[in-house]
Structures are given as structure tokens and as C-alpha cells.
Amino acid sequence: MAADGLPSHGPGSVDPHSPVPKHAQVRARILDAIDDLEPHSSVPSERVLSTQYGVARMTVRQALELLVAEGRLYRVPGRGTFVSPGKVRLPVRLTSFTSDMTARGVHAGARVLEQRTAPAGRLISKLLEIPADANIHIIERLRLADEVPMAIERTHVPAALAPHLLSCDLQDSSLYETLEREFGLVLDAGEESIEAVPSGTPEAELLGVPRGSPLLLLERVTTSAGRPVEYVVSRYRGDRYQLRASLDVPTDGGAFTRRRLV
């Protein structure tokens, strides 16, 4: 390890003759080095790193900026740059925030941002398969893992299925557990779409990320015995989540070479 620098596994200085840009080489070296460090460890200054890797400070800055944008490092103004905690590997399955966090030994919490009852309207009524003038409960929560903001979830539930839902504690309790315990609604299937979106100003402030940071937008409709119970729009922090799915081969057969992508 270079004095006061990052742990080094390979060559210290970057290769000036490599076709790989210098800042990309420095990024790769820092990435290797921070693998050995605990989350929240501090990263040496640009000056120290520029000496360690034999490059200009501007090159180190570019590499650090990339790693901050990728969520591998984070900055605290006036204090420096630190190693981010690892991402939560979230299975794409019908699980709840509470069960995902509890399985990791993390305390799941929520701050209720809004809750009210209102007519579903045309779009949501279609998703929940109810008349447009039927009431739904709308609940928006900031989801917390050990008090750290992780996601914003806006949930819509037909009021007829869960009449007194808004008088239940959704701050410290799981919505899914509440639906089951209070209303006998066991969620057994669902559909989810996932896309990337940049965070707007209010979301960024609530989640404590820079404006424009990538978020994972998940839209889910869950059902109980074939009946839609919940339509939820979740915005997960892209710097804290990695979605994982197991893959199986489609049953319609055919060799990969013959199948066309549509």
C-alpha cells in the first residue's frame, strides 16, 4: 500500500500508453482498492491519489466523480469522500419492504407523507378493476432502512376491500401484514414493471440524493385470489438497490439462434 494511499493490488501508476483513458484506469484501480475497505471508510484526497497513481489531480477528480455518480462513493461537503455501503440486492419477487429489510437484519420503517381517500379516477380504476367513482385509499410513504431513506412508495388500495386501512399504523408496520391481519387479504400474485428515471427535486430532497440521481421506478399491481388489491408506484434509490431475477428458458422452446427478438 502506498503511504496514506489506497490499498493496491496491481501496478500503482497508470499506463500512459494504454488505449484506456487515464481516468478510466484510475477509476478501475480505486474500485479494486475500495473492495477491501469497510463502508463509510474515508478515501484519500485527490492530491494523495494523484501521487499514488502518477496522474494529474484533474484525472483523479474525473474518476472520483464517476464513482460518486455510480453510487460507489459518496461525498460529505467539508469532510471528504467515503466508501458507500453495498447495494441491497433485491429479488424481483412478491416480497414486502419490511420482509426484505428484516431478512437483512435491518429495521424497516416508514414516514407517512400523505394519506387520504378519494375516487379512483379512470386510470387507476382500470388497474384495480373497480368503477372510476369507487373510493380508493392513497398512501404515500418514505421507506426507511435503519432510519436511512431508501424509497418513496405511493400505494392505492380499493377502500371497499380495506375499509379502515387509514386508521391502521403504517408508519411502523408492514402494509402487507396489515392487509392480511386486518382484512384477510393474502397477496398471492402480482405484475411489476421496472424502469430507470432521474429524481426530481422533491424526491431527491426526501431521499437525500443529488437531484437527477438515477432512481428505479417500479409499478406493481398485486392480487389476492385474482382480485387486484394494490397498485403501487415505488421510487427506489438507484445507488442503493440492485434488482436480481433468476432466469429460466421460455417453454415455447427453440434454439437461441432461431428465436427473434421482438
Complex with ligand GLP: residue 28 or 194, whichever CB lies closer = 194
Stretch that binds ligand GLP, among 94-102, 132-140, 157-165, 207-215 (CB under 6 A): 94-102
Return the residue of 34, 43, 71, 97 that touches ligand GLP, per CB under 6 A. Answer: 97
- Furthest-apart CA atoms within the chain: distance in Å: 69
- What is the distance between the alpha carbons of residues 225 and 34, in angstroms, rounded to a whole number? 47
Shortest Å distance, C-beta 234 to ligand GLP = 4
224 binds ligand GLP (CB under 6 A): no
Q: What cell was used for 237?
A: 434509490
Establish if 232 lies at the interface with ligand GLP (CB under 6 A). Answer: yes
155 binds ligand GLP (CB under 6 A): yes
> Which listed residue (25, 50, 62, 98) binds ligand GLP by CB under 6 A?
98
Under rule CB under 6 A, residue 241 binds ligand GLP: no
Among 74, 176, 231, 241, contact with ligand GLP (rule: CB under 6 A): 176
Q: Does 115 bind ligand GLP (CB under 6 A)?
A: no
174 binding ligand GLP? (CB under 6 A)? yes
Q: Which of 194, 214, 220, 243 binds ligand GLP (CB under 6 A)?
A: 220
CB 238 within 8 Å of CB 214: yes
For residue 238, give Cα distances in angstroms to 49, 127, 211, 248, 259: 27, 26, 12, 25, 32
CB of 252 to ligand GLP, least distance (A): 29
Q: How far apart are CA 28 and CA 173, in angstroms?
A: 42
- 216: contact with ligand GLP by CB under 6 A: no
Instruction: Report the C-alpha gap between 43 and 24 in whole angstroms.
Output: 17
How many residues line the site for ligand GLP (CB under 6 A)?
13
Dihedral, CA of residue 143, residue 145, residue 148 and residue 153, to nearest 10 = -10
- Count of other CB atoms within 10 angstroms of residue 60: 25
Stretch that binds ligand GLP, among 23-31, 64-72, 173-181, 196-204 (CB under 6 A): 173-181
The answer to whether the CB of 46 falls within 8 A of the CB of 61 is yes
CB 231 within 8 A of CB 154: no
Judged by the rule CB under 6 A, the positions of this chain that interact with ligand GLP are: 96-98, 108, 153, 155, 174-176, 218, 220, 232, 234
